[in-house]
Amino acid sequence: MEVKAKMSHLFRPLNLVIIGLTMYLLKYGLLHAMLRMLSKIVKVDLVSQMSPFQFTLLVASVLFIAAGGYILNDIKDVKTDELNRSANPVGKLITLEKANTLYQVFTVIGLVFSFWIAFDIGNYNYGIIQLTAAISLWFYSNYFKSEFLSGNLVVAFVVALVPLTVGVYEVSLVQIAYFNKVQGFQDFNFNFLAYWFLAYSTFVFVLTLIREIEKDMEDVTGDQSIGAKTLPIVLGINAAKGVATSLYVLVLIGFYWVRVNFLTDPISGTFILVFILLILLNLFQLWSGKTILAKVSTWSKVISVVGILFLYALGYIIDNELFFNV
C-alpha cells in the first residue's frame, strides 16, 4: 500500500513538540523543584539564572537545528523511502533544491540563536553545543546513516544532547552564581543537579539507540537496495533483536537501581511499572512478529513520551518531599 506524502513529514512536528516539551519540563518541572529543595538545605534562595526569554531562545535554537536535520534526512532518503513506502515529501511535494534551501536556512537560524544566547549569558563557548549537533546531523546524513551502528550512535548522541543542553546551560550558570554563597556548607556542590540531567540524558540515549536499531529492522528492504550496512543487514535480524533486548535489560537494571536508591515513592513506582509494561510489550512484539497497535519502533517512542511526563511528576514528588534518598 502506497503511503501518501505530506509536507508536515518534512518537519516532524510531533517530534519537535516532544523536544520543546522535554526542555521546558526539565527547566520548569525538574530543575526548579530541585532548586527549591536545595534552597531549604542551604538557606539560600537558589533560582535559575536563565530568563524566560533566554530559555525560549535556547529552545528555538534546538528546534530549528532539529528541523533542519529532519529535512536533510529526507533529502538523503528519497530512494530508500520509496522502497520502504515512507511518506517522504521531497521530490513529490517539494523540490530537492527547495528542501536543501530550507535545511540551510533552518540550520543557520538555529546556530544564530545558539550563539546569540551564548553571548547574552557571557560565554560564546555554550554555542558550541548546538554547533556540534548540527555538524553531527550533517555527517550522519552524508556518511554514517548507512554504516554499521555508527549512524545509530550519532542519532542517539544528538537526541541525548537535548536534555544535556538544558543541564549544561542551567546547572553551570547556577554553579557560577551561587558558588561563593554556599561555601559555608562542607562538601556541598551542585553536582547533584548535574547527575540528574546526565542520568536522564543517558536514558534518552539508550532508548533512542534501541529505536534506531528497531527502525533499521523495519527498513531492511530499502536499506539493502542502496547497499547499507546497518546492524540487521550485517549481523542479521535475530542478532539485531538480541542487541535491542540487551539494551532494554540495561534500562530495566537502571530503573531498579534508581527505584531502590532514589525514587522510593509510590508515584515513581507507578511510572516505573508502566515503563516495564511498555518494554515487555515491545519485546513481545519484537520477537513474536505480531503487531500490537503500532510498529515496534513506535513503542520506544511511547516509552520516551512517558519519560517526558515523568519529568512533571518528578517536580511534584520533589516539592512534596515524597522521597528522601537523595
Return the top range by mean pLDDT from 79-88, 114-123, 258-267: 114-123
Alpha helix positions (H), the chain: 8-11, 13-25, 32-42, 52-76, 78-84, 96-120, 128-139, 150-178, 191-218, 220-225, 231-235, 237-261, 266-288, 296-319
The CA-to-CA distance between both ends of the chain, in Å, stands at 53
**Residues 89 and 6: beta-carbon distance below 8 Å:** yes
Question: Would you state the cell numbers that stand for residue 154, as one nine-digit string?
Answer: 550519532
- Looking at residue 297, its amino acid is S
Q: C-alpha distances in angstroms, 261 versus 84, 207, 264?
A: 44, 22, 7
183 phi and psi angles, rounded to 5 deg: -65, -25
CB-CB contact of 117 with 57 (8 Å): yes
Percent of the chain surpassing pLDDT 90: 47
pTM of the model: 0.89
Identify the three-state secondary structure at position 46: coil
Under the banding of pLDDT at 50, 70 and 90, the label for residue 1 is very low
> Which domains, and CATH codes, for the chain?
8-319 (1.10.600)
Please compute the mean of the pLDDT values over residues 167-189 and round it to a whole number.
76
pLDDT in tens, 23-44: 999 999 999 998 998 888 778 8
The more confident residue out of 27 and 7 is 27
